[in-house]
Amino acid sequence: MSKLIYLVPLFPLIGFLVNGLGRKALSRSIVSIVGVGSVLASFVVSLLIFLEVKSPGFTPQVITFFDFIKTGKLQIPFAFQVDQLSSLFLLIITGVGTLIHLYSTAYMDEETAPDFARYFAYLNLFIFSMLLLVLGANYVIMFIGWEGVGLCSYLLIGFWFKNDAYNDAAKKAFVMNRIGDLGFLLAVFWMIARFGSTNFADVFAQAPGASAAVLTGITLLLFVGATGKSAQIPLFTWLPDAMAGPTPVSALIHAATMVTAGIYMIARSNVLYNLAPITQNIVAVIGLATALFAATIALKQNDIKKVLAYSTVSQLGYMFLGLGVGAYTGAIFHVMTHAFFKALLFLGAGSVIHAMHHEQDIRNMGGLKKYMPVTHITFLLACLAIAGIPPFSGFFSKDEILTAALLKSPVYYVFGVIGALMTAFYMFRLYALTFQGKFRGTHEQEHHLHESPKAMTIPLIVLAILSVAGGLIGIPEVLMKDAHRLQSFLAPVFAESQPGGETVSHLSHSTELILMFGVVAIILIVIVLAWRKFSNYTKTTETSTGFSSILENKWYVDEVYDAIISKPLRSFSKFLNNVVERLAIDGLVNGVGKAVQYGSRQLRLIQSGQVGSYILIMVVATVLFFIIQLFWKS
Amino acid sequence: MPVNYYIFLSVALFCIGIAGVLTRRNAIVIFMCIELMLNAVNILLVAFSKMHHLAGLAADAGSRAGSEGQMFVFFIMVVAAAEVTVGLAIIVMMYRNIHSVDINFLNRLKH
């Protein structure tokens, strides 16, 4: 079955080509069938592959198709890696992808047919690139996918390209990603220089022989790539702006899949990271800082998608915290559960926005539970999941990361818990403002409120089931013996990084239980507080002051970046343009031209038409040559 | 007679020719000066050829070395004769057109 792995990315590629090339000719229904069908087909193949990987006796395989680059000693094959980690990601990508494609058929129905086809072409291209990223058996193939998803993200953020602000957001995302990609690329070059290969197997086999400095450098550069793609400090500001794209895109690319590419890459490189403890600490600190920082911003945002965007940044921070403290399984677990509940939250938000006719300000919503029962229930379940209430999925994954953080350092744990409390607060603020209380929009909007069509609610329901039950594959040791199925499933991938097998067992069970349920109790209190505070919210016109206005303005990060990076860069470019380009380069080029013109004008005067003067010059020149000849050599 | 004398004569004739070409404006005089220069070269050729011949004879009694120079002189005289006919024809045509043989009038190509 794993020989058929090429089918998994092939279907979306075909879907992309059909929809992209035939976008003017195909009808909406054909576009939908091709778009959804291609991803569904690769989901089915992924499922079969997953079942094979899961069966006992499976060994990880590298399937080589052809030589991608072959020069001298360097050989980069076009190969796919089939193992537990990649098969799990295949399931997440194609599974969530299928649901979001289905949802999009209804959400995008206001678009014209060619735009509709263009949308699905981009979306299929994205799935193709993401699958390439996950399947690649070396860093170069991974990088192809890595760049591909960046491109698709750019194309989809700027999908409504007639709006300048959206275009700016797309460009911002692309530029920030490029900064990260540079780090990734340098790491790959370094690997080629040091190990002579980019294959995962070769690099990991040679890694223990490399010096700590080299490993730290490579892992840090890879992490720079991850901060760009996965929106961590200092490259996170593109993700909230990326909400300019259609909401299903935000759900698929900017919440469930693409932004987890950095986590996948680090988890894949776990052998390298384990040998570079300095980098691990940096990853953990950056992850934690991002988790807290983004959570504080999310507390005061009023755009429904912006809250979710900062929440995504914050949750990605948790995943990096997990990676940094060595809880690779926990991080991957959180990727999975986050893919479920964050996709659900975004799709729920999309459903709300659809019903509200593109109103995104939660201050103008409220009381929607009456009008949209399915969206309301699924959104509530997702909020409970992300807040970490047992037995919803977020509880298990977040708990695993926090426990691992506690083992590393209590400081990590305390800040992690503070972040989790803020998560609960802003999620239930969002929920209460949107669904509870009275409707605060215009009468016209109220009149049009409706539950979304089936194509939108079915993905919501499926994702809600996954968000609720998805955590059950990773029940911690302390609650049920040997119930952490994900850990045993992924164990072969992370075997070298976790020599002891069990990392959790250092903590006594009673302590762990007390901490676990203590945190849950505090989170519940926070939820009740948020619920009560914002259920009866009424619109006020007064502007916030002091600290809350700083939060509302996102800590002025964009402004600071503008002041310390963009502005100096722009004035430097202006200097280059005005001085170097205009004066030096143009001066040089024009000067040569002018000199030739002037010189020829002077020389022309010699050509007087007087035959006598020509002969005189000739004679003088001849005599001169004779004299030179006579005296030169002697 | 040493060859030097011939060389001095030839150089003198050549310089007179050049000076004439440079200073005079009458086309016919210029023409004559050109002939003077040609013939200065002829003298030189003959003189060196004779010198060469004598050197050849000193080495080998039956040598005919150096006769090529004298042959060349005849060629040059033939070519010069042809050149004279063409040149004089041009001067005649020039006189017919502008009623002058002053070469300073012949700068029309400049414009």
User: Is B109 in contact with A609 (Cβ distance < 8 A)?
Assistant: yes
Residue recorded with tokens 């980690």: A85
pLDDT digit string, tens, across residues A476-506 = 877 777 778 888 888 888 876 664 444 445 6
Structural domain spans, chain A: 1-137, 138-552, 560-632
> What is the reported pLDDT for B109?
56
pLDDT of A549 strictly over 60: yes
* Average pLDDT value for residue range A540-552: 75
Mean pLDDT estimate for chain A? 89
> What is the reported pLDDT for A504?
47
Sign, CA torsion A329/A5/A47/A30: positive
Nearest CB among A610, A616, A619 relative to B104 is that of A610
> What is the reported pLDDT for A500?
43
Which residues have C-beta within 8 Å of that of residue A246, sequence separation ≥ 6? A104, A107, A108, A119, A156, A159, A160, A350
pLDDT of A633 strictly over 80: no
pLDDT of B100 strictly over 50: yes
Of all residues in chain B, the one with the smallest CA distance to A614 is B22
Name which of B16, B105, B107 to mutate to probe chain A: the one with the most chain A Cβ atoms within 10 A of its Cβ: B107
Residue A79's SS3 state is strand
Determine the Cα–Cα distance for residues A7 and A317; give it in Å rounded to an integer: 33
Residue A69 backbone phi and psi in degrees, to 5? -135, 135
Band of pLDDT at residue A576, cut at 50, 70 and 90: very high
Q: Contacts of residue B23 in chain A, CB cutoff 8 Å?
A: 612
Question: Peptide bond preceding A114: is omega within 30 degrees of 0, i.e. cis?
Answer: no
> What is the reported pLDDT for A502?
46
Q: Contacts of residue B102 in chain A, CB cutoff 8 Å?
A: none
Determine the Cα–Cα distance for residues A402 and A251; give it in Å rounded to an integer: 25
Sign, CA torsion A134/A130/A245/A36: negative
A41-55, A370-384, A508-522: segment of lowest average pLDDT:
A508-522
Q: Contacts of residue B34 in chain A, CB cutoff 8 Å?
A: none
User: Is B22 in contact with A609 (Cβ distance < 8 A)?
Assistant: no
Q: Please check whether residue A486 is in contact with residue A474, taking contact to mean a CB–CB distance below 8 angstroms.
A: yes
Q: Contacts of residue A620 in chain B, CB cutoff 8 Å?
A: none
Residue A210's SS3 state is coil
Of all residues in chain A, the one with the smallest CA distance to B14 is A619
Nearest CB among B18, B25, B107 relative to A609 is that of B107
pLDDT digit string, tens, across residues A438-455 = 888 888 888 888 888 888
Determine the Cα–Cα distance for residues A406 and A397; give it in Å rounded to an integer: 14
Residue A580 backbone phi and psi in degrees, to 5? -65, -50
Closest among A295, A244, A274, A242 to A419, alpha carbons compared: A295
What CATH number is attached to the domain comprising B43? 1.10.287.3510
Tell me how many degrees the CA angle A344-A349-A351 measures, rounded to the nearest 5: 95
pTM to 2 decimal places: 0.80
User: Is A615 in contact with B110 (Cβ distance < 8 A)?
Assistant: no
Q: Contacts of residue A615 in chain B, CB cutoff 8 Å?
A: 21-22
Q: Which residues pair with A412 in a beta bridge?
A: none
Give the tokens for residue A332: 């991957």
pLDDT digit string, tens, across residues A274-294 = 889 999 999 999 999 999 999
pLDDT digit string, tens, across residues A88-123 = 999 999 999 999 999 999 998 888 889 999 999 999
User: What ipTM, to 2 d.p.?
Assistant: 0.76
pLDDT digit string, tens, across residues A456-475 = 899 999 999 999 988 888 88
Nearest CB among A607, A608, A615 relative to B21 is that of A615
Q: Contacts of residue B104 in chain A, CB cutoff 8 Å?
A: 610, 612
Of all residues in chain B, the one with the smallest CA distance to A616 is B22
pLDDT of B66 strictly over 50: yes
Structural domain count of chain B: 1
CB burial of A167-203 (b: ≥16 within 10 Å; e: otherwise) equals bebbebbbebbeebbebbbbbbeebbebbebbbbeeb
Q: Name the residue range of residue B95's domain.
A: 3-110
B103 touches chain A (CB under 8 A): yes
* Average pLDDT value for residue range A158-177: 92
> What is the reported pLDDT for A501?
43
Cβ–Cβ pairs < 8 A, chains A and B = 24
User: Is A616 in contact with B106 (Cβ distance < 8 A)?
Assistant: no
CB burial of A291-314 (b: ≥16 within 10 Å; e: otherwise) equals bbbbbbbbbbbeebbbbbbbbbbb
Note which residues in 10-69 of chain B have CB less than 8 A from chain A. 18, 21-23, 25
* Average pLDDT value for residue range A127-145: 94
